[in-house]
Structure 1
Amino acid sequence: MSAPPDLYGRRPTDRLWKFATRAISAYEVMTRFMRSETPEQPAKGLSMKLVVRKVKTEAEDVVSLTMSTEDWSPLPTWQPGCHIDLRLPSGTERQYSLCGDPEDRWTYRIAVRKLGAGSQEVHAIKEGDLVTVRGPRNAFPFIDVPRYLFIAGGIGITPILPMVKAAQDKDWHLVYCGRSRDSMPFLDEIAELDPARVWIRPDTEFGVPVSGKELLTWALPNTHVYCCGPAPMIAGVRVDRTTGLHYERFSPPPIVDGRPFEIELRRTGTVLQIPKDRTALDVIREAMPAVAYSCRQGFCGTCTTKRVDGGDMRICVDRGRGRIVLDM
């Protein structure tokens, strides 16, 4: 079967085709039910081999990947805010927000800006390549409320875009910021939304980065604010918004009121000093460059390490007092 031609990688979307595919799907589900079977679908959290069906340049240094199973079988369902873990050819894993259509059961879409070594590996992936994916998982849940303000900075549009599309029957506004229009992905899709509810705000057209107060122009008292972008943008929003704020950052969170402590690596007896302004992961990586980690924000679980006292430690974010002995 050839790759689907539409924006999200789906099959042709004319009404007759939609009716036919839904009828076939319904028939397959019914016959499986009659045979006391369940529709074949990968379990969430298990690794899946997916084929990259489409690679598209979405903006300057940003590409999107549209992926499906090899036989076009249904993928695990997801909701706006979900991400997947993508295992890269080097063996490292990175988390990327799903930015396609949750109603599309056959494909996943992610978009990645070229920044570091991991993203460079993603940009080297070509159509037809096999990739390993785990998920989807949701660390940025989208709740049902009457009024939303969506704020996205650059590649932070990826988890926000499906939320905006899901909120079309609600009172919503979107503020989308970036260095320049050329650097901002999915402007073509955003152009299809109600222009009265969207503010595209590139720095190059205003001369200065946007302030927190500007970002919150549409934030009425009963508005839930969903924000994703660089740390300074999120910090600016948090100064003026303390309730109804949901945010996801794509960089490690800053260390606030950190205290120094010690880490002992049980297998070698090495004792490491963790300063107040560094994470355990940062220091451990200097002694053990191959230590596993991914999100650096505490939610993926890749760096979780056993303590000798029986507990667990997410070495990318967790801190301690005195000396902590790790089973590593």
Structure 2
Amino acid sequence: MATAGTIKQLVSGLTAGATPRAYPRLQRLAAGCAESHGGRDESMFQSVHADERQCASLNDRTARRYHGPDDRNCPNGQNQGTIVRNMTEPLNGKILTAIVAAALAASVGNACASTITVETGYSTAGSQASANDYRSVVEAAVAVATAGYGVTHPTAFNTVSNHGLFAGPTTNIAFEFTIAFGVTAVQAGEWEFRAGTDFGHGGAVFLDGVALGFKSNDMWWAGSYGNPSQHFDYTSILASGNHVLSIYGLEGCCDGGQQVQFRAPGTKQFTSFSSTDGLAEVPEPATYALFGVGLLGLGFARRRKT
């Protein structure tokens, strides 16, 4: 997801003398957003890729985190710069190119619900002594590409398992769940999160990088939240803005289906995180300003060409 910080870095890099072709990260952001979210926001990019719907081969872990479901639709070996070049060539200016491309990427990226990322890797590690230990062990495991494990973006956090997502092993699995979501001013207040997991060697939960807690016992919720020792359940006061819920776990056997849910202030029911949960990331003020400058730039370029 494009953030104000990401956009500033890209713009500063281009204004320092680089070219759009030299920045695969910018190209991936713009190209991926053009194809993502089932076409819901595709109208903004009609003039960009009406004749060429191509996006990059996104093989590295960082790039996959930026996109979402569109990764599965990107055939390998295609030209990742095509869409960006089509969008930027008529503008003749590195600064304007960066602003317009980043603004479009940011505006489309913020138009969806919460973003779910599931990463798995091979691990024989046992129970850990702290939440930070769980995070370190799992992150190291999922960073290594191994057959039968992978990275994906489910549309809903229900019945999630390594075998179900990747047709991989049901034993020796490290899980990293990352859920990015937004809270509006109306939704600010006490939130509750719960996760039904199958972590044979325990796991840990973090919110915005801060540990909420961990459990080192054998955890298998078996589809029920009746036993507190077999699932995670935490409450936290959230201000308006963007937040990230991260869950790390280690499974020995046997990879059962897992679920992660939230309960927002003023609601009685829990809701599974999904592509329809309504928790779109909140655009930051810098994104609005950048998008406005981008539109002005496009208008100026079109007028100049005419």
Larger radius of gyration: 1
TM-score with structure 2 length normalisation? 0.29
Higher strand share: 1
Higher helix share: 2
TM-score with structure 1 length normalisation? 0.27
